[in-house]
Structure 1
Amino acid sequence: MTDDARFADGRETPLNLGALDTDDLRVLSALAQDAVFPATEMRWQPARRRFALLLNRFRWEDRAAAQARGRPVERVRSLLVIEEVRQVSSFGIDRRDPDTVLSLLSLDYDGPPEGPGTLTLVLAGDGAIRLQVEALEARLRDVTRPYAAPSGKTPDHGL
């Protein structure tokens, strides 16, 4: 008889995950929660039907290990890419201000996974980015090495 795999047995490697249904999207949403990004790091490529964000993602998957070992919590630069995007709209965001920093709270999808549907990036401060998509297809990929979170703190929503 073999033992079940444990999280501690895993190697520390950059994330590279995809979401094709709402269960997958919940995982991406949890991992991307509290990511911050300047408004200038959003790109919509209409000809490619792609929307992308370059995020400074809090490494939720490493928080317990960091605390147990007494080392700083970390962030990592990550790409969040949404495919099959037909239309993009936003509210509560001042895109004219290049110094605007946004904080991602969650990724919410309304519609069948095979589409069409609406993927909403819910932001702190009552802002949101709404993507009309043909089908649910998202990827989250770390693109740098982790670095100590500048604040040194785990995000806290006061719950």
Structure 2
Amino acid sequence: MTDARFEDGAERPLRLIARDADDLRVLSALVQDSVLTGADFQYQRARRRFSVLLNRFRWEDQAQAKAAGRRVERVRSVLDFSDVTAVAHQGLERDGETILSLLSIAYVPQVEVGADEPAGPGRVVLTFAGDGALALSVECLEVELSDVTRPYAAPSGKTPSHGD
């Protein structure tokens, strides 16, 4: 068995699960520069689930788009966080007007676990441009990223840049 390659995905939607900090770093890279509004958050307290609907930049397709001379793409995706016991936020407008740009997702464990063990209780922190943050207290780390639409040409036609 060989490792999966981005090229193998072609037009198939992504569906990935993170159960440890290393997995979450992969998801974080894939959702970096996603855009959404405060209305795109949903916390289902009874189900202990927090969901985020976002417009994800398709980093996995960037090189192929450039090589083929076509526009870069975005896709609508859902991030589902399981076993969420509390939600806190700072510096985020919860309206449907303000555009938020997701920079990263990180996991902060309550206690360190071994490399081969799934992550236990801790906090998942979503960091947004403009000093906004969302913290989810979780009993264990389980995050699913699912593309829910076909890719579409990014309206700006540009690859996100952070001025590096």
TM-score calculated relative to the size of structure 2: 0.90
Q: Give the match for residue 46 of structure 1.
A: 45
2:158 partner amino acid = K
Q: Give the match for residue 63 of structure 1.
A: 62
Task: Report the secondary structure of 2:46's partner residue.
Answer: helix
1:101 partner amino acid = I
Q: Structure 2, unaligned stretches of length 5 or more?
A: 113-117
What CA deviation, in whole Å up to 9, does each residue of 1:83-114 have, x standing for no partner? 0000000001122x330111110001000443
Question: How far is the alpha carbon of 1:115 from its aligned partner?
Answer: 1.8
Q: Give the match for residue 28 of structure 1.
A: 27
1:109 pairs with 102, 107, 110, which one? 107
What CA deviation, in whole Å up to 9, does each residue of 1:93-146 have, x standing for no partner? 122x33011111000100044321000001011000000000000000000000
2:128 partner amino acid = L
Distance 1:69 1:35 in 2: 23
Question: How far is the alpha carbon of 1:38 from its aligned partner?
Answer: 1.2
Q: 1:4-153 counterparts in 2 under 5 A?
A: 7-95=6-94, 97-111=95-109, 112=112, 113-153=118-158
Task: Report the secondary structure of 2:61's partner residue.
Answer: helix
Task: Report the secondary structure of 1:115's partner residue.
Answer: coil
What CA deviation, in whole Å up to 9, does each residue of 1:44-70 have, x standing for no partner? 000000000000000000000000000
Q: Structure 1, unaligned stretches of length 5 or more?
A: none
Distance 1:5 1:98 in 2: 37
TM-score calculated relative to the size of structure 1: 0.93
Aligned residues: 156
Task: Report the secondary structure of 1:150's partner residue.
Answer: coil
Q: Give the match for residue 115 of structure 2.
A: none
Task: Report the secondary structure of 2:23's partner residue.
Answer: helix
1:102 partner amino acid = L
